[in-house]
């Protein structure tokens, strides 16, 4: 393929360097910043046949409309809550994501946050570093993980991978989904309030998007209760963040381990000031191995599209 005959694509970014290298080997790549003014796009960009984006940016109807030749959106994430999927479908634009390859790492991080939060690992680390331990300060006793009831909100691929990891130590694993998962060995609790009340640790693993917005609200947090801990590796929007801050501030729940926030990379300053909260900068899939596998999957989807084949991991 000569330089001129290569398909034009948009890297809606900035994108992960290994992915950019793969894109540049195959395509004529135009970089468009995630906050670019779409009205002033370079005319060459308007010939793009594919757009590559990532979870927190996605693809709005506006960027799709700004690229009249757009055939495909390759997403570098499993979550596609920031992609206007209905608009893509209506415009005949295909969409792919990166499921499966990141499941284990996201589940690992959920379990890491579970232990870090329940056993005060981050707060105690700060205490040691500050010299307070050496000066004689006594760390508070923590809660325990073993034997506790772990509630999984969203028993999909990632939820099941979390369940497998905690099964050897949990007292019981329960889950809440819109529907009971056939053949799941775990106990389904249909009522979300009862589910939260029964959970000692509630792990949010459901997918994001409008249907899941503020699924965890003040009532759920109150049902989780003063001994309860919440972990979120899904999307910030699934939890009512103001209600979470209030519940943590009033000690109506015991703690939170959070990888995701409503307006990333902004984290409410109230959360940053709380010792019973463990914060991560959205690191679920952020391992060297998984990010490379995700990039390879984005490239495989683009290759399939331009070869006229079915997408490997289609959303639309």
CA quadruple 176, 178, 179, 180: dihedral, nearest 10? 0
Task: Please tell me what DSSP assigns to residue 96.
Answer: E
Please identify which of the residues 176, 235, 291, 305 carries the catalytic annotation.
Answer: 235
Is 264 annotated as catalytic?
Answer: yes
In angstroms, the CA 287 to CA 18 distance is: 13
End-to-end CA distance of the chain: 28
112 binds ligand DGY (CB under 6 A): no
Minimal distance in Å, beta carbon 176 to ligand DGY?
Answer: 20
Residue nearest ligand DGY (C-beta atom): 284
Is 235 annotated as catalytic?
Answer: yes
Interface map 276-295 toward ligand DGY (x if CB under 6 A): --------xx----------
Residue 154 φ/ψ region, left for φ over 0, alpha for ψ in the -120 to 50 degree band, beta for the rest: left
| Among positions 77, 96, 120, 313, the unique one binding ligand DGY when judged by CB under 6 A | 77
Nearer to ligand DGY, 77 or 117 (CB): 77
Please identify which of the residues 49, 157, 264, 276 carries the catalytic annotation.
Answer: 264
| Among positions 32, 93, 95, 102, the unique one binding ligand DGY when judged by CB under 6 A | 102
In angstroms, the CA 259 to CA 93 distance is: 31
Closest-CA residue to 98 (of 310, 285, 271, 275): 285
| Among positions 48, 51, 83, 106, the unique one binding ligand DGY when judged by CB under 6 A | 106
Q: Are strands 229-232 and 255-258 parallel, antiparallel or unpaired?
A: parallel
255 binds ligand DGY (CB under 6 A): no
Q: Long-range CB contacts (< 8 A, 24+ apart) of 273-276?
A: 274/248, 274/249, 275/123, 275/126, 276/117, 276/120, 276/123, 276/248
Minimal distance in Å, beta carbon 285 to ligand DGY?
Answer: 4
Closest-CA residue to 213 (of 174, 262, 283): 262
Nearer to ligand DGY, 177 or 280 (CB): 280
Which 6-65 positions form the footprint of ligand DGY (CB under 6 A)? 55
Nearer to ligand DGY, 55 or 257 (CB): 55
Of 4-12, 71-79, 129-137, 145-153, the segment contacting ligand DGY by CB under 6 A is 71-79
Which residues make beta-bridge pairs with 202?
151, 230
Of 73-81, 88-96, 187-195, 216-224, the segment contacting ligand DGY by CB under 6 A is 73-81
Q: Catalytic positions, please?
A: 235, 264, 282
- Give contact residues for ligand DGY (rule: CB under 6 A): 55, 77-79, 102, 106, 284-285
């Amino acid at each position: 393929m000569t330089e001129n005959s290569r398909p034009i694509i948009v890297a809606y970014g900035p994108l992960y360097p290994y992915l950019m290298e793969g894109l540049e080997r195959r395509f004529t790549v135009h970089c468009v910043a995630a906050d670019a003014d779409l009205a002033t796009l370079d005319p060459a960009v308007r010939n793009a046949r594919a757009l590559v984006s990532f979870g927190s940016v996605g693809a709005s109807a506006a960027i799709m409309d700004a690229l009249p030749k757009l055939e495909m959106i390759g997403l570098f994430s499993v979550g596609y809550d920031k992609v206007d999927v209905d608009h893509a479908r209506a415009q005949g634009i295909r969409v792919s994501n990166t499921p499966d390859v990141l499941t284990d790492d996201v589940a690992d991080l959920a379990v890491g946050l579970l232990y870090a939060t329940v056993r005060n690992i981050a707060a105690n680390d700060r205490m040691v570093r500050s010299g307070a331990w050496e000066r004689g300060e006594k760390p508070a006793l923590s809660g325990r993980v073993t034997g506790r009831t772990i509630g999984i909100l969203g028993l999909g691929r990632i939820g099941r991978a979390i369940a497998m990891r905690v099964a050897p130590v949990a007292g019981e694993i329960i889950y809440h989904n819109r529907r009971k998962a056939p053949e799941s060995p775990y106990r389904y609790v249909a009522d979300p309030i009862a589910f939260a009340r029964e959970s000692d640790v509630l792990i949010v693993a459901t997918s994001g998007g409008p249907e899941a917005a503020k699924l965890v609200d003040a009532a759920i947090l109150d049902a989780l209760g003063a001994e309860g801990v919440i972990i979120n590796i899904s999307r910030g929007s699934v939890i009512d963040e103001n209600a979470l801050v209030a519940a943590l501030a009033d000690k109506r729940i015991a703690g939170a381990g959070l990888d995701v926030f409503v307006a990333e990379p902004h984290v409410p300053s109230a959360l940053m000031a709380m010792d019973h909260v463990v914060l991560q900068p959205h690191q679920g899939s952020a391992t060297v191995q998984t990010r490379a596998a995700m990039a390879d999957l984005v490239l495989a989807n683009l290759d399939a599209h331009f070869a006229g084949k079915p997408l490997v991991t289609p959303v639309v």
